[in-house]
Amino acid sequence: MIRQRVLRGTLLGTALVMVLATAGCGRLAVWAAPAKAPSATRTAAAVEADKLFWKTLHAGEYDRIPDALTALKAAYLENPRDAVTAAHVGWMHTWRLGERARQAALRPDITDDAVLGRKYFEEAVRLDPGEARYLGFYAGLLMAEGTIHKDEKMVRQGFYAMKDAVRAWPEFNYFTAGYTASAQPVESDRYREALEQQWLNLDVCTGEKVDRAKPDYARYMPLETREGPRRVCWNSWIAPHNFEGFFLNFGDMLVKAGQPDLAVPMYRNAQHAREYAAWPYKAVLEARIRDAAKNVEPFRRTEPGPDSATLMVRSTFACMGCHQR
């Protein structure tokens, strides 16, 4: 009997050691696997897919997003080490999600765009960790995905990743952080922080604290540049109406905060852009100026309505307000 117990104990002990050894080997094998390295070159397919990406984006051809995604994903599968292609796939999914108000009948699977957008921007960040724009988009999508799935841990991971993105490139990511939170309840701390982030964006773009009571941007227009971190404060080939879109959103956020009198001069700052006359959404801005006071309550609604009575972030031009030619 004693011998049987000893034998049984020996066998159990041996089995336990084997299980632990196997588990340890598994962890060791994962730890020892080589990291995914970025590609030093881009394929011809990636270059062609980029052309379709930019054409689709700048033309505002929302209905052609599937065509662009097909080309981009084919290029990604050919070379999954290309950070730019990964980011462009993520951007197409983000655009489709962001301007879902364009869809006549919204399907539940629109939420897949948050998951896929996050995945591809995560790949882009892994391949090019120094590109803070990728990190900002990844953080925003991580919060969106966490919110969809009621996963508070994921939301918090996104929240702190966004803080990292802001530290890495405040001129770009103060806007990203505030814009993605502009649909939060107006009475929430998160909304107040988002609004302050827009003010801080102006401060880092101008190099001084902008007057919170009289935000006339005319005096800062000579600072316009196409170089350095502050280039993203202005219009560019990537975002032909970034400047106008920024002030349209900032005005909307001030209206929602119950400050329509301050929103009007903020909206008017968009008109300082040299490209303003060619902006596809100048009529929207001019209507916003006219209707600022009466838009306070509509902008606070949790469900989107017509573009004339809904925040930019919930509108059919949530992305195109900056990117459409």
Q: What is the CATH number of the domain that holds 100?
A: 1.25.40.10
Q: Is residue 177 predicted with pLDDT exceeding 80?
A: yes
Q: Tell me whether residue 54 is in a domain.
A: yes
Dihedral sign (CA 259, 183, 178, 311): negative
User: Final residue of a domain: which of 168, 201, 224?
Assistant: 168
Question: Residue 149 and residue 91: Cα distance in Å, rounded?
Answer: 21
As a whole number, mean pLDDT of residues 68-77 equals: 98
189 pLDDT band (50/70/90 cuts)? very high
Query: Number of structural domains, the chain?
Result: 2
CA-based max dimension of the chain? 95
The answer to whether residues 151 and 254 belong to one domain is: no
Q: Tell me whether residue 161 is in a domain.
A: yes
The answer to whether residues 203 and 311 belong to one domain is: yes
Q: Tell me whether residue 174 is in a domain.
A: no
Q: Tell me whether residue 8 is in a domain.
A: no
Q: Tens of pLDDT along 216-268?
A: 999 999 999 999 999 999 999 999 999 999 999 999 999 999 999 999 999 99
Question: Residue 52 and residue 34: Cα distance in Å, rounded?
Answer: 33
The answer to whether residues 156 and 219 belong to one domain is: no
Q: What is the domain range of residue 202?
A: 193-325
The answer to whether residues 57 and 109 belong to one domain is: yes
DSSP 311: -
C-beta separation of 306 from 299 below 8 A: no
The answer to whether residues 304 and 245 belong to one domain is: yes
As a whole number, mean pLDDT of residues 32-57 equals: 95
Average pLDDT across the chain, whole number: 93
DSSP 173-210: HHHHHHHHTTTS-TTSHHHHHHHHHHHHHHHHHHTS--
Question: Residue 123 and residue 220: Cα distance in Å, rounded?
Answer: 37
Q: Tens of pLDDT along 17-26?
A: 455 456 677 8
Looking at this protein, which amino acid is placed at residue 196?
E
CA angle 157, 161, 162 (to 5 degrees): 120
| Proportion of the chain above pLDDT 70, given as a percent | 93
Q: Tell me whether residue 159 is in a domain.
A: yes
Q: Is residue 155 predicted with pLDDT exceeding 50?
A: yes
